[in-house]
Amino acid sequence: MAFELEQVSFSYNRKRAIDALFLSLEQGKFYGIIGPNGCGKSTLLDLLVGHRKPESGHIRYKEKELASYSRRDLSKEIALVPQNFYINFPYTAADIVMMGRYPYIPRFSKPTEKDLCIVREIMVKTETEAFMERYITELSGGERQRVVIARALVQDTRFLLLDEATSNLDINHALKLLNLAREKTEKDGKTVVAVMQNINLAAMYCDELIFMKNGRIVTSGAVEDILTEETIHRVFNVESEVQFQSYANTKQVVFKR
């Protein structure tokens, strides 16, 4: 396993956000994390990327304790697109994307031609090249989100963590991002772990779903196995109907008013 979490717990001011959680993540899969607001989804990603440390339990990456990695080495392995990205300094979009290459650039050195080429390539793929020279403070929420996604992609990591990365995107750009992430898993063997609110989009793109509630994993596994009316009711306490949808080529959920 690439990632192993063993009885991991984390609290905010004595309020338990992650509660004795066990989880294994394999290389080369697309995982979707689904659950109610405040159930610990974003906290789990923060733990995986090393931004927060568990108060108990173990997080191992490639059979080593995550805490044993240096910040620079970890930045070459795991990239995060956060739920919220705020910056008040007038950096250009290209400057922000280039920040994703910093783990590979020696201190006091300038980006190489390789770094510049990678930034240009990813900005074309994420359709952000049109505002390369615009200041990040001048961009819309959706445009800013695409720049942050591009920044994570240029890190060229084995793991890509997406925290509701499509929430500010229109459906066209949301689908393009998810297609790009799916391509990373299928062609490059990378692992994507995405917190998603849209269950139907998660079902379309993910290999496995992880349903969370109250800081714990309720159930996890292949989409076709665990995406059921019973799971939806258990996690969200709502009525639904789950059917295979031939156009999407996967299960889809319809909710009752």
pLDDT of residue 256: 82
Angle (nearest 5°) at CA 105 between 114 and 4:
100
The enclosing H or E element of 188 equals helix 171-188
pLDDT of residue 107: 87
Q: Which residues contact 222 (CB under 8 A, 6 or more apart)?
A: 207, 208
pLDDT tens-place values along the chain, 257 residues long: 799 999 999 999 889 999 999 999 999 999 999 999 999 999 999 999 999 999 999 999 999 999 999 999 999 999 999 988 878 888 999 999 999 999 999 988 999 999 999 999 999 999 999 999 999 999 999 999 999 999 999 999 999 999 999 988 999 999 999 999 999 999 999 999 999 999 999 999 999 999 999 999 999 999 999 999 999 999 999 999 999 999 999 999 999 88
The 8-class DSSP code of residue 90 comes to -
pLDDT of residue 86: 78
